[in-house]
A and B are shown apart, each in its own frame.
Chain A
Amino acid sequence: MAGHSHYLPKTGFSRWLDQRLPVIRLVNDQFVTFPTPKNLNFWYTFGVILTVMLVLQIVTGIVLAMHYVPTADLAFGSVEQRIMREVNYGWLIRTLHASGASMLFVAVYIHMGRSLYYGSYKAPREILWILGVVLYLLLMATAFFGYTLQWGQMSYWAATVITSLFTAFDQIIPHFGTALSTWVRGDYAVGDATLNRFFSLHYLLPFVIVGVVGLHIWALHVPGNSNPLGIDVKGPQDTVPFHPWYTVKDAFYLTLFLIVFMGFVFYAPNFFSNPDNYIQADPLVTPSEIRPEWYLLPFYAMLRAIPNTLLGVLVLFGAMLTPLFVPWLDTSKVRSCRFRPVMKQLFWVFVATCILLGYVGAHTTDAAWHLGEVDIPLVWLARLGTLYYFAFFWALMPWIGKTEVTRPVPESIAQAVLKKGAVVAKGGEQ
């Protein structure tokens, strides 16, 4: 890990402990004196925010599991009757957990966007990035299982749609896809068996996530943080100790994040949810529109944009797995988009594309924009968006990385910060 240990046990007990299990040394080296680039901005606070949100989800989830009943007959009632009305502050714990899942994804997307923008995935941080993508995939699976547990109409039918995606593989090996789908559901249709195993997995995966988060932080602390300039730390003049510099900065932005989060929890608890999910699951009544939670909508739009189901499913999985290859798809020598004028614009087009895909995913397949006399079917926007999504990673990243004329990169963090400080000091703001 970066730098050698500066920890000096002061008491007899801490010396004794240090020779047997150096946990105080670990915490001291990794979270107190850990040398951190001095130029990390607001966008770098989301790692800590995510850690806090994950812990909050696990704590509220454990309490909810004490009152939840994972059977098809009783699941909906155990949430809407017992947890929401009878358990002391059950409504609060449930709302924290449900809105918390959405806020966690808000933070995940910002965190991933920040990595992409500043090139944090580039050597020597490839494994750090890949672990992050693995965490993202695990989070999506966990969130999907959790959404099923409410056993409302949208829960039930989203689970039905997603598990039936596997049947597309029948087109490759006859009956294999159907068998796979039945195996995943534990039944021919989504039912008791499905709900039970989803509950089991929803309880298991968060602890797997905690393990991978441990690896993620480990992989972060070997090369140390990236930074907005995308240049390596040259020496102690470029860094500050994590505490108190970043503990205080992270705590401040975490509190701002919590203010937004609590605004939803207390004043718009159903903002992220679908009204249909307050109707108990009914296998005989299909809702007029089935749509997943907002954080999966871009992928849902891609799935529906492809007329062939099998191709659609392959595109869906391809889109989810593509980020794993980013460290090798980006061929640029410069990490940060600050010095990459072309990549910077392509990045923002990518962000806009993801938002557009999410927007299309929230609408029916036959929806269209009507501009005067011209009709633009949303499905064509989704096709364009899907094309750009894949082109961005598989064509533009390797190509632009080689051809782009980058702007000059500063010598060191300390030099760049001093220069910027001098300019800003004249302007009179920090």
Chain B
Amino acid sequence: MKTASLLLALGMALAAPAFAAEDLTQPLPPRDAKWSFEGLFGTYDRGALQRGFLVYKEVCAACHGLNLVAFHDLAAPGGPGFTVAEAKAIAAGYKIPAEPNDRGDIFDDKGNRLTRPGTLADHFPPPFANDEAARANNNGSLPSDLSLIVKARQGGPNYLYSLLTGFNLKVPHGFAVADGKYYNPYFPGRAIAMPPPLNQGSVSFNDGTSATVTNEAKAVVTFLTWASEPELEARHRIGLQVLAFLVLLAGLLFLSYRKVWHGKKEE
């Protein structure tokens, strides 16, 4: 990772303008954080996944959807490790737009949308009825769905972590933040429509972890990385088996190769 970032830095030094002063039109490169899911043996930290789910549910879900994730995923192998009963209870806590009832209605007498409790087969419901409603509620900006957010941003988890912990910094001299925007040096353009989402004590973790902004950010980034890459643990596990097999095969083939070509002069 160090070498990679060193190479990256070198590449950027060559490719990008040599900064005399900080270029305020460009975002800062994300900070490098440590993640349990990095490396050949990386797995998700279950505690962080469950805490991160809480942060998503209590904070992010107010504006951001998670439409590719189903409630049964919460109890799936390689995931946050909730039991099926817990996942069922979580699902039941959500109101899902109901299918037509036996009179064919999807609205009640007062014109409200009929709902039913969620089941394991349901996905996380969207926070707004449609994109227009989402924009209307967010000062004209559309909050992204978070199902793939870690894969959809350059820098992945480090970017997201830097962004979430990059609020409330001193605005550099000469940088004007537009009305209704917030300064965040990690965001392209450095001004973001999202208000600082995480605060000290935004949630209360039931495993004793103190609810600092850093801890909340780490937890929710772990959760969202899982949401983007639920196959990561299986991928790492199978990858080791595949590579071990191929290395062994390469060794055997090398010995066969030497034996077959023994005595023959080669290039």
Give A contacts to B, CB under 8 Å: 38-41, 77, 80-81, 84-85, 91-92, 95, 228, 240, 244-245, 248-249, 251-252, 255-256, 258-259, 262-263, 265-267, 269-270, 275-276, 278-279, 288, 363, 367-370, 417-418, 420-421, 424, 430
- Interchain Cβ contacts under 8 Å between A and B, 11 examples: A41-B266, A80-B68, A85-B230, A251-B257, A255-B246, A267-B235, A278-B148, A279-B148, A363-B15, A370-B16, A370-B17
Whether the pair B238, A279 counts as a contact (CB closer than 8 A) is: no
Whether the pair A252, B266 counts as a contact (CB closer than 8 A) is: no
* Complex: chain A residue closest to B68, CB-CB: A81
Whether the pair A259, B250 counts as a contact (CB closer than 8 A) is: yes
- Residues of chain A within 8 A (CB-CB) of B147 are 80
Whether the pair B265, A420 counts as a contact (CB closer than 8 A) is: yes
Cβ distance B66 to chain A, nearest Cβ, rounded Å: 12
- Residues of chain B within 8 A (CB-CB) of A249 are 257, 260-261
- Residues of chain B within 8 A (CB-CB) of A245 are 260-261, 264
Q: Say if the beta carbon of B83 comes within 8 Å of chain A.
A: no
Cβ distance B56 to chain A, nearest Cβ, rounded Å: 17
With contacts A259-B247, A275-B154, A430-B266 taken as known, whether A248 is within 8 angstroms of B257 at the C-beta atoms is: yes
- Could you say which of B18, B239, B242, B246 contacts A370, with CB atoms under 8 Å apart? B18
Of residues 48 through 85 on chain B, the ones whose CB sits less than 8 Å from some CB of chain A are 68, 73
Q: Say if the beta carbon of B14 comes within 8 Å of chain A.
A: yes
- Could you say which of B15, B238, B254 contacts A266, with CB atoms under 8 Å apart? B238
Main secondary structure of the interface of B (DSSP, over half): helix
* Complex: chain A residue closest to B266, CB-CB: A430
- Residues of chain A within 8 A (CB-CB) of B88 are none
- Residues of chain B within 8 A (CB-CB) of A40 are 267
- Residues of chain B within 8 A (CB-CB) of A420 are 265, 267
Complex Cα–Cα for A92 and B231 (A) = 9
- Residues of chain B within 8 A (CB-CB) of A363 are 15
With contacts A255-B253, A370-B17 taken as known, whether A38 is within 8 angstroms of B235 at the C-beta atoms is: no
Complex Cα–Cα for A124 and B198 (A) = 71
- Residues of chain A within 8 A (CB-CB) of B250 are 252, 255-256, 259
Whether the pair A244, B266 counts as a contact (CB closer than 8 A) is: no
* Complex: chain A residue closest to B73, CB-CB: A85
Whether the pair B148, A266 counts as a contact (CB closer than 8 A) is: no
Complex Cα–Cα for A262 and B40 (A) = 12
Complex Cα–Cα for A367 and B26 (A) = 14
Complex Cα–Cα for A249 and B18 (A) = 48
* Complex: chain B residue closest to A372, CB-CB: B18
Of residues 213 through 267 on chain B, the ones whose CB sits less than 8 Å from some CB of chain A are 228, 230-231, 234-236, 238-240, 242-243, 246-247, 249-250, 253-254, 256-257, 260-261, 264-267
- Residues of chain A within 8 A (CB-CB) of B230 are 85
* Complex: chain B residue closest to A252, CB-CB: B253
With most chain A CB atoms within 10 A of its CB, the pick from B17, B147, B148 is B148
- Could you say which of B240, B243, B249, B253 contacts A248, with CB atoms under 8 Å apart? B253
With contacts A39-B266, A245-B260, A249-B257 taken as known, whether A266 is within 8 angstroms of B246 at the C-beta atoms is: no
- Residues of chain A within 8 A (CB-CB) of B46 are none
Q: Say if the beta carbon of B153 comes within 8 Å of chain A.
A: yes
With contacts A41-B267, A228-B267, A420-B265 taken as known, whether A259 is within 8 angstroms of B239 at the C-beta atoms is: no
Whether the pair A248, B236 counts as a contact (CB closer than 8 A) is: no
For the A-B complex with A38-B265, A248-B260, A417-B266 known, give 15 more contacts whose Cβ atoms are closer than 8 Å. Answer: A77-B68, A80-B68, A85-B230, A228-B267, A245-B260, A249-B260, A252-B257, A255-B250, A267-B40, A275-B154, A278-B228, A279-B152, A368-B17, A421-B265, A424-B265
Complex Cα–Cα for A262 and B236 (A) = 11
* Complex: chain A residue closest to B40, CB-CB: A267
* Complex: chain A residue closest to B144, CB-CB: A279
* Complex: chain A residue closest to B147, CB-CB: A80
Of residues 126 through 178 on chain B, the ones whose CB sits less than 8 Å from some CB of chain A are 144, 147-148, 151-154, 156
- Residues of chain B within 8 A (CB-CB) of A255 are 246, 249-250, 253
- Residues of chain A within 8 A (CB-CB) of B260 are 244-245, 248-249
- Residues of chain A within 8 A (CB-CB) of B264 are 38, 240, 245
* Complex: chain A residue closest to B17, CB-CB: A370
- Residues of chain A within 8 A (CB-CB) of B256 are 244, 248, 252
- Residues of chain A within 8 A (CB-CB) of B156 are 275
Cβ distance A371 to chain B, nearest Cβ, rounded Å: 9
- Could you say which of A252, A267, A368 contacts B239, with CB atoms under 8 Å apart? A267
- Residues of chain B within 8 A (CB-CB) of A275 are 151-154, 156
Cβ distance A254 to chain B, nearest Cβ, rounded Å: 9
Whether the pair A262, B154 counts as a contact (CB closer than 8 A) is: no
